[in-house]
Every structure is written in structure tokens, then in C-alpha cells.
Amino acid sequence: MNKDVRKSVIAGSWYPGNPSILKSDIGNYLANVPVDSVDGKVIAVVSPHAGYMYSGQVAAYSYKPIEGKAFDSIIVIGPSHRSYFSGASIYNKGGYETPLGVVPVNVELANEIIAQSDITSFVPDAHSQEHSVEIQLPFLQVIFDTFNFVPIVMGTQNRETCENLSDAIIKAVKDKNVMIVASSDLSHFHGYEQAVSMDSVVLGHMEKMDEKGLLADLEKGKCEACGGGPVAVAMLVAKKLGADSAKVLNYANSGDITGDRRGVVGYASAVFYKINHPDVSGKKKQSGIESGFSEKDKDRLLEIARKSIECGLAGKDIPEFFTVSGILKERRGAFVTLNKHGQLRGCIGSFEAKGSLCKTIEEMARSAAFNDPRFPPVTEEELDDITIEISALTPLKKIKNSNEIEVGRHGIYIVRGLYRGVLLPQVATNYNWDKITFLEETCHKAGLPANAWKEKDTEIYIFSADIFGEDE
């Protein structure tokens, strides 16, 4: 274990080497943050990585909203300042040491992320002298009693690397409750006014969760962020995990601390989170279409789905269901989606109807509960916490022009060679995606580049669905 522990390389210089002083300083930084709670579940934060005397107070704004929360793992992503390599390096050994102790690496999760992409690997030199990940750890050690983490250092920060890394993280974390920390400073060594102007561009993209705009403006030189890639990855992962809001909590630069405004470095703290939306109407945002189901029909199908899962847990055969309406005997495809406390817990479906809708729902419910490769099988203990949603599908229609897609009404099915990806109509509605984002995210689901939908050999199909579910 000792040989696999990365020793601190900045303790005593970038932050205090004395544990008592270090803990006291961080406590004071946190105490200076005014109480301004984030109304929702924080999924990712952005924190600076300069020496604590310059950026420690700004960093405290990032960590205050998650102080004392519980996570299965923390993923810290920073840029490489000293080592040059392609892709992203993931430390998959024992731990990182600071004056406050050793933070264990979640080796299993680290290896799982590495396994998901060709651009991820372990590059020893990427971690040996890099400060961008280590500088975050003492704050995390103070706000959490215990935690494990995955250290990621990005060698290249282009759009392709950001998208690949975010996809790898999403595939690896599955249903784990993770927190993403993006380590980044902003503009470097410009005059105070110019720095504030450039940094405001980055802050604007953060507030909109606009990773594409951020990466584009960084490439054009309209702004600077040495951890622009990690910030983009944090936004991508956060959105895929349900984040729908962002907030810049604090901004400052070194000129505010030293008084020297001739050449400053910018720092910002931000959070990406899933807001607690008030349900004013008592109804969910509508998606899909109405296709003639009565409330009794819907209740019957939901009853069939739940009974199928219950029988599967008990090891019993599914009873023969006798329907009360002819529409339930129609041959049509369907998806069954399981959610637990607002988070996806399983989703399986089929466009092809091998039997009646009742039979399709029965089979898809059991598959969603026990055979979704992204999640462990549902257990009896958690069944009461799971809600069921059914999407009864219309037939697929191949389209030649993306203008035929109506967000909120249509789902998208993309086919290219052996790659397949489908997203239901309600996904775009839930995340407030526009048409282009919906197409790009369906490509990601298929394992394709975001712009693959534009290629001639990519087939695009649309469909709709009658969507209904149990109350949460």
C-alpha cells in the first residue's frame, strides 16, 4: 500500500504543511462563506487550484454547499501542467497523501473508467508532480469524515477528449452517487480589467452549462481557463446525471488579494445541480402523445408491470393477466422505466411487439428490474422506493430531414452500422434540450460522436409514445 500512495508535493508551500494549521485555515475559509444554500442536489463543483493564500477563500465557496453530504465517491479532474500526453490519466492505485492523512483511491471505479475508453489510461508522470488534483483534497478531508476518490489528470482538453471522458465516467458510475470536482483557474497574467472581462466569458458559459461555447471560446482565445477541459467534462457529466441548473458562487483574482493589478490570475467557484422544482400544477411536464388509453387502462398496465417485478423477486411465474380493454391486446412496442428517488434505476424496451401490449409490458418490466446491464438487479428491500413509468410506442418512422423532429412529441432512434441508440420523448423534455442537443445526446447513447447524426450513413428514426406512470 505504501508504495502506491502518492506523497504530497505542495504541502508546506501551496498550503500549510502543519495539519493543525491547515485544518484551521480551511475551517476559517468555510466560516467566511455566507449561508446561501443551493436549492437542489449538487452534482459537480468547480474550484480553483492556486495556493490557498490566493484562492483558498474562493475554493471554500465551492465546498460549502456539499459540506457534510454523503457520496459513494468523489471524482477530481484537473489539467496537466507538467506532463504532456494525449487523453486523460487516471490514478488507479492506493491513495493520495496530504498532511491530513491518506485519501484512498476507489481503484475499482478508476479501473472501470479506464476500461470504458481508449483515451483513458494510467500515465505515472501525469500525477507525480501535478498540483491541480492534490490542492482540492484538504478541503474535501475537512468537509467529509471519510471518502474515497478517483484522481483524473487531463493531458489534452479538446472537445473530443472531453466528450469521451464524460461518456466513460457516465458508463462507469452507473447508479453510484458521485460528486465531480473540476479543478481550474481562469485567465493568467493580464491586467485587472482585461482579466475580469475575459473571465466573465467563462462565468457566463458556466451559468448556462454551455460546455460547447466554453471550449469554442477557449480555442478562439476569447477567454482562458487552464482547467477548461475539466470544467467542460464536469458540465457534461452533471447534465447526464440530471443537473438542470448552475450557479457561480464567487469570483476573484489575485489582484484582489495582493493589491497588485498589473498581471493577475482569475479564480471562480461554481456548482452544477438538479434544482428542486416546485410542482405548481401537480402534473408532470407533458411529453409524447395521447393514444386512447383510459385511466383504468393505464392503471392496469402499471399493475401488470409491478406484479411482474414482484413475481420475479419471489421466484414465481407471472400470472395470466386478463385485460378489460381491447387496446391492451394491441401488438405494440413499449419501454418500462424504473426510477428511485428521482434517479434512473433501470430502463428496457422494445420497438418490436412479439405479443400483446400486456405481454410486452410484463417482459420489459422484468428486464428493466433484473437485466439492465447498467444497474444491479432490483432487490425486494428497495421495491417500495421504486416508481414505474410506461412508454407505449408508436411505430418507427425513418426520416431524411431533422426538421421532422418535434421535441417533446418525438423520441429518436439512431442507427449507424452496429451502433444503436434511442432516447424517449420525455428525456428531451426533462432536460430542456433543443433539437440539436437531443440528436447529439442520442448519438452519445449509441456510442457515436456527437455530430454523427449529420453523416450520410447514419439512419434517423422517430417515434412517439403514450407516457404514464406511478406517482412518486
Residue 409 and residue 315 share a domain: yes
Domain assignment present for residue 286? The answer is no
Residue 331 and residue 260 share a domain: no
Domain assignment present for residue 282? The answer is no
| Listed residues 221, 240, 275: the one ending a domain | 275
Domain assignment present for residue 302? The answer is yes
Kindly report the pTM of this predicted structure.
Answer: 0.62
Residue 336 and residue 218 share a domain: no
Domain assignment present for residue 299? The answer is yes
Instruction: State the residue range of the domain holding 415.
Output: 295-469
Low-confidence ranges of the chain (pLDDT < 70): 1, 35-37, 276-286, 319-325, 472
Domain assignment present for residue 147? The answer is yes
Residue 8 and residue 138 share a domain: yes
Domain assignment present for residue 289? The answer is no
Residue 442 and residue 392 share a domain: yes
Residue 311 and residue 226 share a domain: no
Residue 251 and residue 168 share a domain: yes
Contact status, residue 113 vs residue 37, Cβ threshold 8 Å: no
Q: What is the structure's pLDDT at 111?
A: 97
Q: What is the structure's pLDDT at 378?
A: 93
Domain assignment present for residue 290? The answer is no
* Cα separation, 152 vs 121, whole angstroms: 10
- CATH number of the domain bearing residue 433: 3.30.1490.150
| Listed residues 275, 310, 331: the one ending a domain | 275
* Cα separation, 143 vs 274, whole angstroms: 21
Contact status, residue 4 vs residue 94, Cβ threshold 8 Å: yes
Residue 323 and residue 221 share a domain: no
Q: Which three cell numbers stand for residue 350?
A: 422494445
Contact status, residue 231 vs residue 44, Cβ threshold 8 Å: no
Residue 211: closest CA among 235, 187, 227: 235
Angle at the Cα of 118 (from 115 to 122), degrees rounded to 5?
Answer: 65
SS3 for 233?
helix
Number of domains in the chain: 2
Domain assignment present for residue 283? The answer is no
Residue 367 and residue 246 share a domain: no
Residue 271 and residue 132 share a domain: yes
| Listed residues 247, 275, 303: the one ending a domain | 275
DSSP E strands: which ranges in 200-291? 245-253, 264-275
What phi, psi does 137 have (nearest 5°)? -65, -45
- CATH number of the domain bearing residue 266: 3.40.830.10
Q: What is the structure's pLDDT at 38?
A: 75
pLDDT of 121-174, one tens digit each? Answer: 999 999 999 999 999 999 999 999 889 999 999 999 999 999 999 999 999 998
Contact status, residue 72 vs residue 89, Cβ threshold 8 Å: no
Residue with cell 498589473: 262
Residue 176 and residue 96 share a domain: yes
Single-letter amino acid code for the residue at 226: C
Residue 63 and residue 146 share a domain: yes
Radius of gyration of the chain (CA): 24
